[in-house]
Amino acid sequence: MAEYRTERLGQLIQEKISALILEGKIKDPRVSPFLSITRVNVSRDLSFAEVYVSNIRATASIERGAEGLQSAAGFIQSQLGAAMRIRKIPHLRFHADTSIREGFDLVKKIEGLVEHGEG
């Protein structure tokens, strides 16, 4: 049952942070509207949430975006507290998630091999 609760809380945090990014409420210039929250892992005791950030742009912009979100973590937590009905909002830690970018690069390499092999 606890696992279900942490999963639901993670999904809710993901939705709320994504909405803050899209609505432009996070004023840090490093936070681009192209950033997306790929997943949120909430600890069992609900004290921490690991938030993974990505986009389809360069890895450096993902890392800058994660840094910008981390610097705005206090603001984000206050916004989550106002929007959610839970006693304690988990402490947020943002991480760059380059898996989407790596997936695109891998697909390009495979397509290049297929085209080269058929030529």
Domain CATH for 22: 3.30.300.20
Closest CA to 79 of 29, 4, 18: 18
Domain that holds residue 40: 2-118
Q: What does the pLDDT average to over 89-97?
A: 95
pLDDT bucket at 5, cuts 50 / 70 / 90: confident
Q: Contact at 8 Å (CB) between 81 and 69?
A: no
16-72 tens-digit pLDDT: 999 999 999 999 999 988 899 999 999 999 999 999 999 877 778 889 999 999 999
Q: Specify the number of domains making up the chain.
A: 1
Q: Contact at 8 Å (CB) between 81 and 89?
A: yes
